[in-house]
A and B are shown apart, each in its own frame.
Chain A
């Protein structure tokens, strides 16, 4: 009994010190967006907004021609696809999709040499009818190499190649503006390979290759920058710079800062270079290909605050390389992520705002190519995961592979898999595990057997969080609310925890919390022997509060000696009184009733009395 408070304290400390148990987040293998069907043609792309919504866009043969289909991704799960190029009977090509928060999405494609767009406004469910952004005149050259980007604020830009020039169009609200002036530098030179990225501030950065160089230029609303910059370099490690192409660019929320990665020849060796655009000047130059000769077109993704993830393949070994950019604006040199393979890896990268991202690539041996991925957990690449199911056939790299990330740490990888009638558009996801709940400790002792348990809401961009509540290891309830009631608890310390569970069953247990119940009054033993006037009266007190860990502990002892004197006994912090002597000196002989009131921490009270006979 006398060890009880110590034990209780030890348990309390142990309980409070437990960390939440985090589940391992995981890649979830691909599930079909469309198919199996021999009509599946190719992937256009996948996009995820920062708040978690997404779309997969692809081409599928319908009524005798390829047409544009899109599937909404709800928490990463594909919904029933729908066709966007309704009313168009000729073949569509190069579909692209981009998204921003609150459901705003934009799809563009080429049909009959013209560029078409369909908008899904924020807060809406439906895609608007197709609208021509660029209408090709009869017999005039058609648009091609369509690229699309939408910033977090909803502003969007697209580039396309037309007659050897890179053209740009901007969407603000619901209004398109097609720029009269090409983005590229020299009207007489052929420009190609354009890419575009849009900042949160509504500024875009276009990069393209032209006359063997890679260039970049900002687009500020409806104005082209007056300071286009050449990104490709004259030399690297003593080797002269040759032809450059295949730029991939991304831009921070503050459009002052952007990176452009591209491929360039140096003395006959193909390297991938990344350069930082600061204001209107390129500042840093870094090779991010792990020193590999034969590096191919990079794929770059960045957060709004400037962290980055790049993927590229190596010709020959067909190795996929991943490189990361830290918040200090420093790239690591890149590292191989898989093993050599006979298949072009078609690597893609997607990075969430929380700094976690995915690099996915195609690989395999002999029997067929499959899709693999490694998670960048903001410190290192985790082990390789397989995204595709080999029983569904080979992954068709030429049909397109794409990846996208939301802000909260979720990523989606879309691809085409299978041959003949077994062709499918697939999407695999990395679903970030839920965060642990917080708050809700009841570490004070209470005179109740019922508690209202409350905890903090777990924000998850893919939603669907449920909370499983366990009390003393026994499931109490599962709820989507952030509170639950528990009753009928016996005296003592109880432990409860709240586990957040997401829609894919991933769970994270919150820290153990205490519920302390004490409805039992302290136990008091009060004895007295005969006393003499002026001498300390031999009154002895024992006071405890429950067995083992069941009691809150004695908090106060008030003694009324019967002669008008009242004393408050100092109670040791350990919460019990063991053989305390109440040494009152009575001034007159007589019979006195000693009344002791003992209260415990929870507020329970016990009164004990005894009689003292005081003689001369």
Chain B
């Protein structure tokens, strides 16, 4: 009975949503338009962004909101951080009344647990916050108004990715704000008897810098025809045709079509020259057609001599850490936010972006176009050993990693699959098992990229065999900012020797700095933490130390402010919670004085095409 009550309540609300739903709210586009925001994706995508109706909990009235929507943007209370159950609904008419058409609902990301009803019937559910998911809409009325109701629950649990945390002060914790809702775009997808959906992989192989490249295609094709039919799959890579074969598929059957094409004299992708090739894939058969488009870059990523190589030459990238956090819209960042953010990053000489979760799809594409590397990480964030010991948690993270690779594997910008951030710095058997299994998952899906993880830069951690399976280790270093265990990272003068110690521990692995910096929100004495002057000096010192370690594959600073959690202080004696203020850009993207320091260092650093050597 206990199980049934929520179900009944949900169903009841779904029915209420169905019965009392008025005409579409003002401004709502009843028939969605074929205007996808990203280039990559299946043909026949209709954008369901725009005006929806929203309400929180099971009482209260509905109000109009704009999707993408973070329901708690602007509310930085403890209850907001804890999360809540919210509801979205909207009407739509399908843009194509053809009776052979199937319809799929695609969410680019919703946080965290999502349940969907169409015309009063549940059509699907999903858990997870930062990756796209789809569900087939059965029961669409082609000639009538359809009613969509979506329940989103962002109450964090200890086993979620990221996990719920309670701070010492008894407040809900976490490394970034727990925004909830339909935080990314929603699409309606038309399927005409055949579908090329999730999991298309177009991967480059580049044996040497001047060699011909091989582009390998893996294309899952699913039949939506009413009877068995033969399907033929072809592709174009740039101007070259690629035959991927033909096969007979039963209704509902999915098959992967594979093939490759050799590209002579390839125009390589790199941050210095982010050249992209257009790719089109088509599947024909059963009287239907499916198409899929993306932009692909040819480049190689390898680890040699303990360094990351891009196109067979060592890197020394300079990167920026951030969170998707618009001053007004929170996590529901739009294209304007992304474009402005990318422009600011580029202007500062940033060529790598990192955050703790798979980014907005539009940001991936902007990075492809603009020549920014992306450290693509899943939100396996500070998971305590007491939770990680549960096999179900490790498996959930492995599934998240798998989905990330399949969803975002075509972006030239993605240079590493990161399996997590700051797990126990003294790994137990559970961290070891997770690293081992997650790396195996990533390697089995993609051998063209290294697999990495970010760890805390503690001198007391010593050398850890648990990291043996990793190709690339990212290190968050806060020497001169956070004291660390027993004050071991308090003194910034100890940073050089710590880095040398790290190198000695992991001579065969690529090592990069994945976080660094200190908070700043005011002008004041240079010796006072939290002042712009302190931040500038700290960055100048730290980036100067990084510059003396030629074996580093890259280094990252905290680029832009974001909201962290209630009561956040971040080591600043005069903090402004919940804002995490280590960014050298403020929440609005305005530069602090340290931005110039960082920019100067980044611009004077040769980041790519470095000579080989130790």
Contact = CB atoms under 8 A, between A and B. Distances in A.
Contacts of A304: 483, 486-487
Interface in A245-263: 252-257
A394 interface: no
Interface string A185-226: 000000000000001111100000000000000101001011
Given A256-B530, A279-B530, A279-B574, A201 B492 contact: yes
A200 B493 contact: no
Interface string B476-495: 00001011001110111110
Contacts of B487: 151-153, 199-201, 253, 304
A31 to B, nearest CB: 29
A353 B574 contact: no
A317 interface: no
A279 B529 contact: yes
A147 to B, nearest CB: 20
Interface in B322-375: none
B493 A227 contact: no
A603 to B, nearest CB: 25
B483 A256 contact: no
A227 B528 contact: yes
A202 B493 contact: yes
A172 B494 CA distance: 11
Given A254-B571, A256-B571, A201 B490 contact: yes
A469 B528 CA distance: 53
A50 interface: yes
B527 to A, nearest CB: 4
Nearest to A305: B483
A202 B530 CA distance: 17
Interface-central residue, B490, B492, B571, by most chain A CB under 10 Å? B490
Chain B interface extent, by class: 20 to 34
A218 B527 contact: yes
Contact of A153 (B482, B493, B530, B573): B493
B529 A153 contact: no
Contacts of B524: 227, 279-280
B238 interface: no
A201 B491 contact: yes
A255 B493 CA distance: 15
B57 interface: no
A225 B491 contact: no
B574 A199 contact: no
B544 interface: no
Given A278-B573, A279-B573, A253 B490 contact: yes
B462 interface: no
A132 B573 CA distance: 38
A155 interface: yes
Contacts of A256: 528-530, 571-573
B486 A50 contact: yes
Given A218-B527, A253-B483, A254-B529, A199 B490 contact: yes
B287 interface: no
A202 B487 CA distance: 10
A406 to B, nearest CB: 11
A407 interface: yes
Contacts of A200: 483, 486-488, 490-491
A63 to B, nearest CB: 40
Interface in A143-174: 151-153, 155, 172
B525 interface: yes
Contacts of A201: 480, 483, 487, 490-492
Contacts of B493: 153, 155, 172, 202
B57 to A, nearest CB: 35
B486 A155 contact: no
Nearest to A173: B493
Contact of A202 (B491, B526, B572, B573): B491
A255 B574 CA distance: 13
Contacts of B528: 227, 256, 279-280
A202 B491 CA distance: 5
B519 to A, nearest CB: 10
Contacts of A220: 526-527
A200 B571 CA distance: 14
A151 B491 contact: yes
A227 B491 contact: no
Interface-central residue, B530, B572, B573, by most chain A CB under 10 Å? B573
Nearest to B168: A327
Contacts of B531: 279
Interface string B521-544: 000111111110000000000000
A202 B492 contact: yes
A225 B486 contact: no
Nearest to A100: B487
A252 B573 CA distance: 12
Nearest to B494: A153
B27 to A, nearest CB: 48
Contacts of A203: 527
Nearest to A201: B490
Contacts of A253: 483, 486-487, 490
Contacts of B573: 256-257, 278-279
A256 B528 CA distance: 7
Nearest to B571: A254
Interface in B417-438: none
Contacts of A172: 493
Contacts of B572: 256
Contacts of A279: 524, 528-531, 573-574
Nearest to A217: B527
Interface in A110-131: none
B222 to A, nearest CB: 45
A254 B571 CA distance: 8
Given A200-B487, A254-B571, A257-B573, A227 B494 contact: no
Contacts of B525: 225-227, 280
Interface in B540-588: 571-574
Contacts of B492: 201-202
A279 B529 CA distance: 7
Interface string A247-287: 00000111111000000000000000000001110000000
Interface in A429-449: none
B531 to A, nearest CB: 8
A203 B526 CA distance: 12
Interface-central residue, B482, B488, B493, by most chain A CB under 10 Å? B493
Interface in B376-398: none
Nearest to A202: B491
Contacts of B490: 152-153, 199-202, 253-255
A152 B573 CA distance: 21
Contacts of B530: 256, 279
B466 to A, nearest CB: 19
A339 to B, nearest CB: 38
Given A155-B493, A172-B493, A201-B480, A278 B486 contact: no
Contacts of A202: 490-493
A278 B574 contact: yes
A267 B53 CA distance: 69
A227 B528 CA distance: 9
A151 B571 CA distance: 19
A153 B480 CA distance: 12
Contacts of B482: 254
Contacts of B491: 151, 153, 155, 200-202
Given A200-B487, A201-B490, A304-B486, 12 more contacts: A152-B490, A153-B488, A153-B493, A200-B491, A201-B483, A201-B491, A202-B490, A220-B527, A225-B527, A253-B490, A278-B573, A279-B528
19 contacts: A151-B487, A152-B486, A152-B490, A153-B487, A153-B488, A155-B491, A155-B493, A200-B483, A200-B490, A201-B480, A225-B527, A253-B490, A254-B482, A254-B490, A256-B571, A279-B528, A279-B529, A279-B531, A280-B528
Interface of B: 480, 482-483, 486-488, 490-494, 524-531, 571-574
- Report, nearest first, the 5 A-B pairs whose CB atoms are least far apart: A200-B487, A253-B483, A201-B490, A200-B490, A253-B487
